[in-house]
A = this chain, B = another copy of it.
Amino acid sequence: MRLELITIGTELLLGHTIDTNGAELGLALAEAGIRVGRRTTVADDGDTIREAVEQALACSGAVLVTGGLGPTADDVTKRVVADLLGLPLEFQPDLWEGLLARFARFGRIPSDRNRSQAEVPRGATVLPNRWGTAPGLWLENQQGLVILLPGVPGEMRRLLEHEVLPRLRQRGAGLVVRSRTLRTTGIPESALAERVGEVEAALAPLSLAYLPGLEGVDLRLTAWELQPEEAATRLEAGVDLLRARAGEFAYGVDQEDLAALILAEARRRGFRLATAESCTGGAVGERITRIAGSSEVYLGGVIAYHNAVKISELGVRPELITAAGAVSEPVALAMVTGVVGCLGADVGVAVTGIAGPGGGTTDKPVGLVYLASTVSGTSRVRRIVLPGDRQEIRARAVQAALFLLHQQLAELPPQHSL
């Protein structure tokens, strides 16, 4: 099955917002075996939207539109599409009741503008939106299929998953486009490519893509329009081949996250975790606590941005900072042992570095970061110099810190179940 995407928003064309919905839709639709033929972005303008939907319908017979379903005057998608398909808008009292209940839950009163969100083109299927006020709509007649979703990424994503994909999968011919990813970190793309070597022939008909990012380099394998079983078998073998080549730099597959892997391993061993951060300013804690259930393992941490806090809260000796500097091996080690001691944890990780743009010297350039980890009283430390701007250096430092702790945990003797 083939489908066109239309993303609506003047802010997308002006470049004030990057179109992440388009990429997310592409991934999810491919996973369901649906090929996106074209993606068009247009402004919040009735005539332009109408023309784009009309062209897409004529070309593919199916179109998914995101954006322009909100309560304000620039939200015109529903009206325009209803008009194009010749369907009058009808007020649905039960939809309005649902909206009223939602507003009440957050202690708010809906305005008159919100009433328009309870209007539905005649014959359309309402895709209930439990995560926002604008429901999705599924419109189908002799002209083709038009799916309308809100543009707010969180709402779009959930409606897609819960309402749209199940309906689309029913129409597919059983073939799928599937990808699997091997995640690596701590090694640059070109060095990784050297290690992996020429594998295209061995992997065919799978395609391989190198996707470098702030968490490392992901290796993505894609199977194009295969039967699900064949796709799964080939992808599994492909991932195994790549894992063998990438060696110790491979830490996970698909959506696996380094923080989640650390939490799982620590939980298995009954370890409790603490963090001490300088240049990352809380970003390591933020990464860890993104994971639901992290509270079983993660006690908390100290953001020791100022040296006074390193001394008072982490017990770093002032002489150490004077002698070696705040960004140094001994201070990183003192931070990690300090936080583990203060908070009563078993494992810990610490980061101190120079994120820039200021503060660099010839000896200690911007991007220099010391990481330390500790597991049951044994500590290790690593010095790295990271490329990029302030935000990139910080994000890379978080990943490198987690990788250090992950490696140390992975080298522990395996635990035998009792």
Contacts and interface: CB of A to CB of B under 8 A. Distances in A.
Interface of A: 10-20, 22-28, 30, 36-44, 48, 52, 55, 70-74, 105-108, 110-111, 113-114, 131-133, 152, 154, 177, 179, 181, 188-191, 193-194, 200, 207-212, 220, 222, 275, 277, 279-286, 288-290, 292-295, 298-306, 308-309, 312-313, 342-344, 355-358, 385, 387-392, 394
B107 A385 contact: yes
Query: Which 3 pairs across A and B sit closest by C-beta, in order of nearness?
Result: A281-B289, A282-B285, A15-B26
A108 B16 contact: no
A316 to B, nearest CB: 12
Given A16-B23, A277-B282, A281-B285, 16 more contacts: A10-B207, A12-B23, A13-B39, A16-B209, A22-B41, A71-B189, A74-B208, A106-B387, A281-B289, A282-B285, A283-B289, A285-B303, A300-B305, A308-B343, A312-B342, A312-B344
A23 B11 CA distance: 9
A355 B288 CA distance: 14
Nearest to A187: B108
Contacts of A394: 289-290
A24 B36 CA distance: 23
A167 B369 CA distance: 37
A37 B27 contact: no
Give the copy number: 2
Contacts of A72: 189-190, 193, 210
Contact of A18 (B23, B131, B309, B355): B23
Contacts of A385: 105-107
Nearest to A20: B18
A19 B14 contact: no
9 contacts: A14-B27, A15-B22, A19-B22, A111-B194, A282-B303, A292-B358, A299-B308, A300-B305, A303-B303
Given A70-B210, A313-B302, A288 B281 contact: yes
A240 to B, nearest CB: 20
A388 B282 contact: no
A188 B108 contact: yes
A304 to B, nearest CB: 5
A40 to B, nearest CB: 5
Given A41-B22, A188-B108, A298 B292 contact: no
Contacts of A131: 387-389
A50 to B, nearest CB: 13
B210 A74 contact: yes
A292 B392 contact: no
Given A18-B18, A74-B209, A211-B11, A357 B283 contact: no
Contact of A41 (B27, B39, B55, B275): B39
A288 B113 CA distance: 36
Given A190-B111, A298-B305, A343-B309, A15 B11 contact: no
Contacts of A289: 279-283, 303, 305, 355, 394
A201 to B, nearest CB: 11
Given A12-B26, A42-B38, A302 B305 contact: no
A332 to B, nearest CB: 16
A368 to B, nearest CB: 11
